[in-house]
Amino acid sequence: MAVAKFAEIKEYMLSQIEIAAWPEHSRVPSENELAEQFSVSRMTARRALQELTEQGILYRTQGVGSFVAALKSQSSLLEIRNIADEIQSRGHAYSASLLQLTELPCPTIIATALGLKRNEPVFFSLIVHLENNQPLQLEARYVSPLLVAEYLRQDFNQQTPHQYLSHIAPLTEAEHTVEAIWPDDFTCKHLALKKAEPCLRLTRRTFSREGAVSLAYLTSPGSRYRLGGHLNFSFSSN
């Protein structure tokens, strides 16, 4: 079955965004430009732009045009930031300690989350992120080998998994939950907690266009870390 023209335009635009040919907040082609490029009507081009806007991939400015939206989690509207950027934005020094980078037999819960089969290989990394040499976050991340084949070859002392995955498998969707936990001895040791204290654990599953990419457990001491965000609301009369 032939692909509908508006869907073909959408695929093209998504590919340009994924390879960073069109970075965040850059202007994308207009209805007229797309209609001419793909030899379609303005209505067809408008449908492609409208659907991408409704999905939060583009935003439109009246009288100016359509632009690439900033990357946001579709489940919570909170921006997903790289922890290294978070720390450096405060004027502090970021560093990392890689504890483990390996291939494991996939546990059932991870297999379900990533669309893998139980006990088939899954990539795993365990990293401590530090702010001014003080442990801030323990990251345990499972990654699909089907979508990120070179994950185990990376140097995560030089870049974070988030940075690498954002480049290799650009994020299209994310879901996460936050809970308070009581840390075990292993977590206390690697977060340099003198005694157990409540921690925040963020569980985050990320997706690219091809499917589920990773499942990460991000644990931080409650006394050193907080989560926040800024939401913009628009109102219209009924």
Domain assignment present for 127: yes
Domain assignment present for 236: no
pLDDT at 226: 64
Residue pair 156/214 in contact by the 8 Å Cβ criterion: no
Domain assignment present for 75: no
| Closest C-alpha to 162, from 187, 134, 110, 125 | 125
Q: What is the CATH number of the domain that holds 37?
A: 1.10.10.10
Mean pLDDT by 10 residues, the chain (238 residues): 80 84 89 94 93 82 83 46 84 93 94 92 97 94 96 94 90 85 93 88 90 94 66 40
- Looking at the structure, tell me whether residues 118 and 208 fall in a common domain: yes
pLDDT at 2: 58
- Looking at the structure, tell me whether residues 199 and 117 fall in a common domain: yes
pLDDT at 227: 60
pLDDT at 233: 42
What range does the domain containing 28 cover?
A: 5-68
- Looking at the structure, tell me whether residues 210 and 103 fall in a common domain: yes
Domain assignment present for 216: yes
Close Cβ partners of 78 (under 8 Å, ≥ 6 residues apart):
72, 227, 229
- Looking at the structure, tell me whether residues 94 and 170 fall in a common domain: yes
CA atoms of 74 and 174, how far apart (whole Å):
6
pLDDT at 231: 42
Domain assignment present for 231: no
* Domains of the chain: total: 2
Domain assignment present for 10: yes
Q: What is the DSSP letter of 27?
A: B
* Dihedral over alpha carbons 99, 208, 18, 68 (to 10 degrees): -110
Domain assignment present for 206: yes
| Closest C-alpha to 208, from 115, 120, 125 | 115
CA atoms of 146 and 102, how far apart (whole Å):
15
Q: What is the CATH number of the domain that holds 155?
A: 3.40.1410.10
pLDDT at 228: 54
pLDDT at 24: 80
- Looking at the structure, tell me whether residues 127 and 20 fall in a common domain: no
